[in-house]
Amino acid sequence: MEGLIEPSHRYIIMWIISSSTLITFNKAILVDYSFPYPIFLSTVQLLIATILTQLLARTTSLLPTATENKVEFRILLIRILPICIVQACSIVFNNASYIFLSISYIQMLRASCNVAVKLLNVMFDSHQKFLFHERVIVCLTLTGIAITSLGETNFVLAGFIYQLLSSSSEAVKIFLMDPCIKELKLDHLSLLFYTTPLCFIMMGITCLVIEVPLMKEIQIAALTTGPLLWLLVLNGCIALSVDVIFILLVKHTTMLTRSLSLGFKNIYLIGLSVIVFETPVTMLQYVGYGITLVAIISQYNLRLIEAIVTLQLPITTSSASYWSSFVSFIRIAYNTVIYSSGDDEGGITSYSKILANSKEEKFESKQSQVFLI
């Protein structure tokens, strides 16, 4: 039975299920249990993550960088503290948006994170070029988000702003995190070891100043005597498991696979929100999210084409070879998603392995041709 499911498949399924569970759990605590305190919820999540990562560092070998104390205090303040600040903002703003907006609409809005990451790379990385097709993809994504927002029946401006702030903070975190991991040679779990305590301290102080004074007696009583406290602890454990599973997903898959998995998760959550929670989704929203998906899929296909060009495969516009070229292209795309090994960020190594394997199946890779419209 184990051989039927590839390791990468297991991590994708585990991540989609755990992440979806956490999102619906957050929504239930903040809305259904009448506990509208996103900073407090985030503080509990970070406290549990801090405790468990500290235990892992002291009892296992899963965090080699943290165990060897490679990161100095000066580096911690200069390189890791900014990541903690934007990570804390991203978590709080994201949790706050669930108070005002539906799960389905939030998942549609989260596509704005890709746009923010691209714009940050273009603005602050001199090696990044903003090509014409990338501008078209950005415009399509923003158009889809705008149409989706126009079709939202329960639109709340505060929730919309919170979610955009969350996506922007997440984009800044990604922008700062990638060079930090490469330069300091950190693994993702060790980075989590350093970021969670700092985030918890900042979040805890903010919670004591802003939210604790606003809590009502009945809510404080629910924390001390009712099941809410144990629900918060369980929620925190699930939140950490999502982080750990995603780290394993990063380790065993390529960027392309992770991006497509994110798309599948969003579609699954939208469907879950509509079918189970009976959240109204208008036709205008389907159109808007459809446009956004077209932009995302176009971005992935362009990466596939760039990878194939990197391998110097012949490119032709001959209609006679269209069918064989199309089949070859789909085969490469499918196998890259299913069998990607995570050796590199763009998945180029996976393409090489696929093309090598195709020889054994009597596919002539040198004669494979990609048809470009």
> Residue 318's pLDDT is what?
38
Q: Is the pLDDT of residue 275 over 70?
A: yes
Look at residues 205, 221, 99 and name the one whose alpha carbon lies nearest to residue 161.
99
Indicate whether 165 and 28 sit together in one domain: yes
Q: What tokens does 370 get?
A: 């990609």
Range of the domain at 340: 313-373
Checking if the pLDDT of 167 tops 70, the result is: yes
| Cα dist from 231 to 53, 148, 264, 338, whole Å | 20, 33, 27, 36
Report the C-alpha gap between 216 and 190 in whole angstroms: 38
Same domain, 74 and 171: yes
Confidence band of 204 (pLDDT split at 50, 70, 90): very high
- Residue scoring higher pLDDT (233 or 366): 233
In terms of residues, how long is the chain? 373
Give the pLDDT confidence of 82-127 residue by residue, as tens digits.
Answer: 999 998 999 999 999 999 998 888 888 887 787 887 788 788 776 7
For the CA atoms of the chain, what is the radius of gyration?
A: 22
28 lies in the same domain as 161: yes
Same structural domain for residues 211 and 321?
no
The answer to whether the beta carbons of residues 328 and 370 sit under 8 Å apart is: yes
DSSP 2-47: GGGS-HHHHHHHHHHHHHHHHHHHHHIIIIIT----HHHHHHHHHH
Q: What separation, in Å, do the N-terminal and C-terminal C-alpha atoms of the chain show?
A: 42
Give this prediction's pTM: 0.74
Highest-scoring range by mean pLDDT, 242-246, 307-311, 339-343: 242-246
* Confidence at residue 277, expressed as pLDDT on a 0 to 100 scale: 73
Assigned domain for 43 exists: yes
- Domain match, 250 and 317 both: no
pLDDT of residue 201: 93
User: pLDDT band at residue 361, thresholds of 50, 70 and 90?
Assistant: very low
Our measurement of the distance from residue 262's CA atom to the centroid of its chain's CA atoms, rounded to an integer in Å, reads: 6
Residues 279-292 have pLDDT tens digits of 888 888 889 888 88
User: What is the spatial distance between Cα 20 and Cα 12, in angstroms, rounded to a whole number?
Assistant: 12
Residue 70 has pLDDT above 90, yes or no: no
Whether residues 250 and 330 share a domain: the answer is no
Decide if 287 is inside a domain: no
* 357 pLDDT above the threshold of 50: no
Number of domains in the chain: 2
Choose among 111, 138, 96, 37: nearest CA to 285: 111
| 135: confidence class by pLDDT, cuts 50, 70, 90 | confident
- 180 touches 186 (CB < 8 A): yes
Structural domain includes residue 180: yes
